[in-house]
Amino acid sequence: MRAPARFLLGACGAIAVGALPAACDWRAFDTLQNQAPVLAIDAPSGFPSSSDFGSVLLPVAPPADGSSAAWFLASATEMTGLALIKLDASGGSSALTLTGQALDELGESPVTAMAEIPGTGTAFLGAPTLNSLLTVDLATQTVSAFVLEETLLAPETELGVGVAAGKLIGGATPDLVATSSTSLHVFVAGAVANELVPSPAELAACQMMALSPQLASGDKINRAVVIGNLTGSGSVVAVGTPGAGVAGSVSIFEATASAVTCVGVLLAPAVTSPAGTVNSGFGRALAIGDFDGDGAADLLVGAPPDNVYLYKGPLAFPVSAPTATIPAPSSSAAFGAAMAAIPLDGVKGDEALVSDPGASIDGQTGAGNVTIYTGATLSKMATPTPVLTDHESSTGEAYGSALGALPFCASPPCATGPQLLPLVGTPSKAFVYFTLGPTDPRAM
Amino acid sequence: MRVPSRYAALLLAAAVSVGAFGISAIARAAEEATPDKALNDAKEDFETAQTFFVRGEYDTAASKFLEAYNKKPYPAFLFNVAVSYEKAKQLEKAKEYFERYLQDDPNASDAAQVRLRLDVIGKLLAPPPPPVAAPPVPGAPSAAPGTPTAPGAPPVPGTSAPAPGAPIAAPGTAVAPGASPAPATPPPAPVLPVLPDIDTKGLVVIDSKPQGATIYLNDKRSGPFGKTPWHGSLESKPVRLILESKGWKAEERQISPRSDKLIDVYIALSEEHYLGWIEITSNVVGADLFIDRKDIGAIGRTPFTGQLKPGKHTIFLERFGYEPLQEEIDVPAGTAIQHNLTMQKSQAGWVTITGKTTEGGRLLVDEKFGCATPCRAQLVPGKHKILVEKKGFEDYETTVELGQGIETSIEVQMSPRPSRAHAVSSSVVALVIIGAGAYVGYLSNQNKNSLKSDISSGQLIDSSDSRFSNGKYEAIGADVLYGVGAIVAATAIYGFFEHGPDSTGVMEHRAITLAPLFGPEGTGLALGGRF
């Protein structure tokens, strides 16, 4: 072989040998991706829309059999679409689009409100366009009709605009609560036959207003309904009612096996800036947590676009003013549209996560963010970061459209219970944060 | 040998053979007329005969050639007599003189052709077969008197029966006289041979004074042609005569023999005392002889005789299979000296590379340059690695076990080597692809390092970060590019190592041997090969 040929051959070999180790291992990116602190989840295949996926999310306690470390439901808001997202112990995700006759009967009506029925492995769903309520068995992914419009005691509008589940009465079986645009329905022990509705007098006592048709569509989905021991004397149900041009309110009811009665009402604090503004967003979102770590449930009331109010528990009515007001950052557009209480800093008590899906990020209008507050006074958490964003945020992304606490248990039974992870939704994506808590719960 | 060298050799040979022509002290040979009056007369008759022959008066020409023969009995004259008679259709006489020609010169160079011609003439002279008589036809008219008659009838004097020596009648036209009046069926025309065209012979007569001088034609390398006096026919083309005689100055003449000419060359040699006369003999006949210089080529071969300027000279003898020999000799003026040189058989062996395709190549013996092929290389006996290489062709390699005095001849057929252009271009493409792979890999690495850095620093990057997919695709792309590059590089490597059909060689071993040789010019050892 001539010298030029040997040179070329040698050069080829040298380059190949020198460069090959640099880029051959593409699987390293899979490993790195699994180690990413945040899991981004897209709409699964078969889901009706990839851009209408993460606005309504429902974290559910992981199955006891350990088949998944965590799972949650995601629902479209403009058409019928329901998906079950499962996370494995290492944080990998798989998704399943749910189908079934009950969903088919919804036509194009979306499920816009979801609540976990504790300890049952089922979820309670509201499809207000058709005044319908459904349940879904997560283990079997079976969707069943629960209440149809024609079975209601009285004609209703937008039944299922808000739902909740919990031991409201105090029995062994969780009770189900569903709101319409005008009223509240309690299904004792989850039985359709045990339906209770507050009397008009009780509704009036709690100043529970009808949802204004003038509310923006985003403000009407997933009406805020929470169940918790806010008064220190048993579970109550709190229903938020944002207003349209009027101040919002939060009505609190308690129930017995035979009646639903008003406990009290939280009226929107007055706002002064800008002049003439009313606190119409008050009650858009509610979250129950023990933020000060005193063992009593506290109530966070979101009042977008400007404030979130903390009402320390136990509440003693009449409550004239919130315990603390968390003002929105200056760039806020929808501060308090969604909230969650998740213990993150390892200190007793929950941190408050408040989303602002309309926030501008680096000039990107509507990119959205989630701010974390901690401590009894709910100051911004210093570490690891006070504000969560999509680090590849984009204009109109609406990061924080949904917010929840996702129970994650990599290897059941988790002795101290599943670790709660922030679950943040955008209209097209859901994010699970693994590293904000004291430990990364994934099995690496 | 290149042409200039050949000319130089001829010049030197002329200088050596003829002696210093340009030396004024040497008297030129006297241009004497031939003293042979009979020859002059014969020449005159010959030229007269040629004149008649050209005019077509062949009988007269024959007579004149015969007169010339009577004055100088050169067989060529008889040949010309025969040719003239043949032209005159007198085949009997032509036959007679052709036969006399062969009797006079049975070893003539054209004796075989003349004999064949005699056969043809004999057939032509043979009597024709009798015609077959047809049955008489009643009422047929009687034959007129004097008309041809049936066979068996006595011939009528003065009729068509050809007399011996008469011109040949047309075949089939002669019939016996007294034949039946019934029309005779003519016999089928016999196929008679045809005499090819023939011409007279020219004649060259070479004589010298003194007689006995050695005649060379053109040069001395072809050896002696004869001795004076000499006569005979030569091809009709110019030829240079060289006459040499011991003690006499060599002479040269340019003559142009022709078939219609008698060329009489008579040279009176000048006695020469200035030059010396050398006779070089050797135990090896045919060894190339060089005098003083080798670069102008050999001037003769052993045994060699010739004149040489007096003084010291260096004699070189070379012959394949023998060690070259060099000897200093002293040539005295006007004296004949003889040197018998003994050549020693070479202790070496030889490798000879032949084959048209080896032209422009080279022979490497034991990885050292041997010679430019085709060529012969002298080697020490033993085992040798032979490599014949030529640009654009596959190498030919072999190993030979060379014996003393053995010539190994290898006829090599070089096989063209496939072009490396494709391999070079493939290498470049491979480099580009691999380079692109390296660059894409670099980008992938950048993404990987950036991700690692962000993860380790607690940056909340999510799994949909574009760097994951970008880096992964870049890594896969780099792998693909590496793979493709490797394939192309492998193709290139294959192209570099790819070779065509092997060059082949047919090997022959030949032992160089000596054998006793006896020849007219002397005795010695002849070189030969055993296959």
Same domain, B471 and B493: yes
- The mean pLDDT value for B477-505 works out to 87
User: pLDDT-based confidence at B93, cuts 50/70/90?
Assistant: very high
Helix (H, G, I), strand (E, B) or coil at B205: strand
**Which of B292, B325, B344 marks a domain boundary?**
B344
Distance CA A85, CA A95 (A): 4
Residue A25: predicted pLDDT: 81
Q: For position B42, which CATH number holds? A: 1.25.40.10
Check: CB of residue A37 under 8 Å from CB of residue B455: yes
pLDDT tens across A387-398, in order? 899 888 889 999
User: pLDDT-based confidence at B157, cuts 50/70/90?
Assistant: very low
Same domain, B60 and B97: yes
Same domain, B15 and B72: no
Same domain, B18 and B41: no
Residue B489 with chain A: CB contacts under 8 Å: 9, 12-13, 16
In a domain, B294, yes or no: yes
**Which of B324, B344, B364 marks a domain boundary?**
B344
Residue A411: predicted pLDDT: 85
A·B CB contacts under 8 A:
141
Q: Which residues contact A23 (CB under 8 A, 6 or more apart)?
A: B437, B438, B440, B441, B442, B444, B445, B474, B475, B478, B479, B482
Residue A134: predicted pLDDT: 92
Same domain, B50 and B120: yes
Residue of B nearest to A429 (CA): B464
User: Chain B contact for A3, CB < 8 A?
Assistant: no
pLDDT tens across B208-226, in order? 888 899 998 888 877 788 8
pLDDT of A26 above 90 = no
Residue B23: predicted pLDDT: 34
H-only helix segments in B126-259: none
Give me the helix-helix angle, B421-456 and A3-23, nearest 10°.
20
User: pLDDT-based confidence at A220, cuts 50/70/90?
Assistant: confident
Query: Six-digit token pair at B324?
Result: 């070259």
Higher-pLDDT residue of A193 and A299 is: A299
In a domain, B221, yes or no: no
Higher-pLDDT residue of A208 and A415 is: A208
Same domain, B70 and B3: no
Q: For position B2, which CATH number holds? A: 2.60.40.1120
Query: Six-digit token pair at B29?
Result: 């040979």
Name the least confident of A224-238, A264-278, A422-436, B316-330: A264-278
Q: Give me the percent of chain A exceeding a pLDDT of 90.
A: 49
- The mean pLDDT value for A44-52 works out to 87
In a domain, B285, yes or no: yes
In a domain, B266, yes or no: no
- The mean pLDDT value for B383-399 works out to 92
Higher-pLDDT residue of B173 and A39 is: A39
Which residue among B434, B460, B492 places its CB closest to the CB of A388? B460
Residue B27: predicted pLDDT: 36
Question: In 3D, which of A314, A235, A346, A328 has the Cα closest to residue A281?
Answer: A328
Q: Supply the pTM of this predicted model.
A: 0.59
* ipTM value > 0.85: no
Beta bridge partners of B312: B330
Check: CB of residue B284 under 8 Å from CB of residue B525: yes
Q: Do A5 and B464 touch (CB under 8 A)?
A: no
Cis-peptide, bond into residue B128, ω within 30° of zero = no
Per the prediction, chain A carries an average pLDDT of 87
pLDDT tens across A353-362, in order? 999 999 988 8
Residue A14: predicted pLDDT: 63
Beta bridge partners of A117: A122
Q: DSSP state, B358? A: G
User: pLDDT-based confidence at B531, cuts 50/70/90?
Assistant: very low
pLDDT tens across B100-123, in order? 999 998 888 889 989 999 999 988
Min Cα separation B417/chain A (Å)? 12
Higher-pLDDT residue of B116 and B521 is: B116
Higher-pLDDT residue of A444 and A353 is: A353
Cβ count within 10 A of residue A45: 10
pLDDT of B190 above 50 = yes
Residue B420 with chain A: CB contacts under 8 Å: 2, 5
DSSP secondary structure of B224-247: --EESSEEE---SS-EEEEEEETT
pLDDT of B363 above 90 = yes
By the 10 Å C-beta count (0-12 exposed, 13-18 middle, 19+ buried), A31 is classed as exposed
Q: How does strand B325-331 pair with strand B382-389? A: unpaired
Same domain, B77 and B14: no
pLDDT tens across A297-308, in order? 999 999 988 899
Query: Six-digit token pair at B90?
Result: 């007198």
pLDDT of A175 above 80 = yes
User: pLDDT-based confidence at B12, cuts 50/70/90?
Assistant: very low
Question: In 3D, which of A73, A109, A76, A70 has the Cα closest to residue A91?
Answer: A70
In a domain, B416, yes or no: no
pLDDT of B523 above 60 = no
Q: Do B423 and A1 touch (CB under 8 A)?
A: no
H or E stretch covering B24: none
Same domain, B69 and B94: yes
Residue B154: predicted pLDDT: 39
Same domain, B79 and B19: no
Rg (chain A; Cα; Å): 24
Distance CA B391, CA B361 (A): 7
Residue A331: predicted pLDDT: 67
Burial A1-11 (b: 16+ CB within 10 A, else e): eeeebeebbeb
Min Cα separation B389/chain A (Å)? 13
Residue B458 with chain A: CB contacts under 8 Å: 37, 384, 435
Higher-pLDDT residue of B241 and B190 is: B241
A79, A204, A326, B152, B184 from B137: Cα distances, Å: 136, 169, 163, 19, 11
Q: Which residues contact B522 (CB under 8 A, 6 or more apart)?
A: B281, B285, B303
Q: Do B442 and A18 touch (CB under 8 A)?
A: no
Q: Give me the percent of chain A exceeding a pLDDT of 70.
A: 92
User: pLDDT-based confidence at B175, cuts 50/70/90?
Assistant: very low
Distance CA B319, CA B339 (A): 17
Query: Six-digit token pair at A201?
Result: 């007098």
In a domain, B182, yes or no: no
pLDDT of B151 above 50 = no
Residue B413: predicted pLDDT: 93
Rg (chain B; Cα; Å): 43
Residue-number span of the structural domain to which B491 is assigned: 421-497
Cis-peptide, bond into residue B516, ω within 30° of zero = no
- The mean pLDDT value for B451-471 works out to 88
Residue A4 with chain B: CB contacts under 8 Å: 424
User: pLDDT-based confidence at B61, cuts 50/70/90?
Assistant: very high
Cβ count within 10 A of residue B127: 8
Residue B174: predicted pLDDT: 37
- The mean pLDDT value for B12-27 works out to 37
Residue A255: predicted pLDDT: 93
Min Cα separation B351/chain A (Å)? 27
Residue B152: predicted pLDDT: 39
User: Chain B contact for A5, CB < 8 A?
Assistant: yes
In a domain, B305, yes or no: yes
Check: CB of residue A213 under 8 Å from CB of residue A161: no
Residue B232: predicted pLDDT: 87
Same domain, B426 and B486: yes
Q: Do B440 and A23 touch (CB under 8 A)?
A: yes
Distance CA A317, CA A232 (A): 12
* CA B481 centroid distance within chain: 66
Which residue among B462, B478, B493 places its CB closest to the CB of A36? B462
Q: Do A11 and B431 touch (CB under 8 A)?
A: yes
Question: In 3D, which of B381, B383, B361, B356 has the Cα closest to residue B371?
Answer: B361
pLDDT of B515 above 60 = no
Tally of structural domains, chain B: 3
Backbone torsion region of residue B74, taken as left when φ is above 0, otherwise alpha when ψ lies between -120 and 50, otherwise beta: beta
Check: CB of residue A389 under 8 Å from CB of residue A367: yes
Same domain, B15 and B75: no
Residue A130: predicted pLDDT: 86
pLDDT of B500 above 70 = yes
User: Chain B contact for A386, CB < 8 A?
Assistant: no
User: pLDDT-based confidence at A376, cuts 50/70/90?
Assistant: confident
In a domain, B165, yes or no: no
Residue B461 with chain A: CB contacts under 8 Å: 36-38, 391
Same domain, B336 and B296: yes
Residue B147: predicted pLDDT: 39
Residue B18: predicted pLDDT: 38
Beta bridge partners of A75: A56, A82
**Which of B125, B147, B175 marks a domain boundary?**
B125
